[in-house]
Structure 1
């Protein structure tokens, strides 16, 4: 998260904790990495360092595990508040890529409001999201309109928008699948159990998982969200670290179980390219 009393870790250290072996540059993560994979990895790293944390989908208008009832304005409000909270971090799943929202700017729509002393209403400003980039083929920080991000998240197969190449406009995938969209914004939160008690959690959206086997280099079978059954995704909400589960009070209040159905094959927009 970039905050707290533990030193930051490198990408290589994180991959080693997750069970991968060098050379890391030879691993093609695309075929087996999905939204739920990232949430599971976050839990594994939490368990390794004996810290408490949770992850959940902040905004996903379409497809499996969609955030039913969440609006674009509501998601923006939560995102901008969270970006000012050192206990929260975000990942934005876009076209064939994951990267991290790190800040925002609210720009007045009218020039004469630029130096207004009082707060402006949401209708008087345009929101831009600053996004940290990990690919060497792109600038270190993107600045994208929230309206364009909303357009990306609201397209459905075969139509899609590549947020990193807006000049290409709406494009169409070569797929027989119609409807749904894997793109979303995922939140990752550090929890302070003394300050953030059980009564503050919306237990209806909490997910409890058994500890998955350690991944190693050379994985052939996909672990992406597309290989998880539709029934499981209907129950998917928040993902908590196993150290969080160990609390006796938590064990009494949750009895959710999930089963993986490796036979289910779905659509993935990942081809391993940056």
Structure 2
């Protein structure tokens, strides 16, 4: 045993295994290692030389995006929607055009903020592509995101409706309607808004019976769930238009009188 103990350190330091051990310490390995150790050390240095600039570049991109996003959020919270919209667009462009960020969460955060800003500015045409992209993203996720599917189906429908694209608006309103049993649609007043919008579309497209049905449902929700006077008046006017097209002038006039009665109370 004594002989083995005397020889073992020599064998260990000059063996194949010494190269493996040395390669775990690249700087020492390159200077003192043998064969395989030096190869491993060179590979390590090459990888390190390539990864360091990439990591530094990623940090720069994240920093640029973060600054623009923070400015957008600050402007939005202060009510400065024009600046908020510009900063949000820059943040979104930075995230989407960056190889290192495009597959991260930064584009999603930028889109969510941009969507809120455009909606508050009533820039629905500009918002439509973002609403559609957000909807597509959430449709690919698990069922727990049905709330967002409902929300962005509704917002996409709103943007299409505002641009007169009634066929597309109808599709997205109906898609939103299927989400009414989830938390976002638990609000009856939101459901009433959805039904009213569909009722108006059906009226314009000549499906008057369907329009009458949905508008009456919306009216019932507004009247039984403390809807605003403005909402109730608008749906009464919509019903008046539907009855007029149906050739029912008396019912049309009745709806208008009810609307005028609400307005006269204010």
TM-score of the pair, normalised by structure 2 = 0.22
Which has more helix, going by share of residues?
Answer: 2
TM-score of the pair, normalised by structure 1 = 0.22
Rg: which structure is higher?
2
Which has more strand, going by share of residues?
Answer: 1
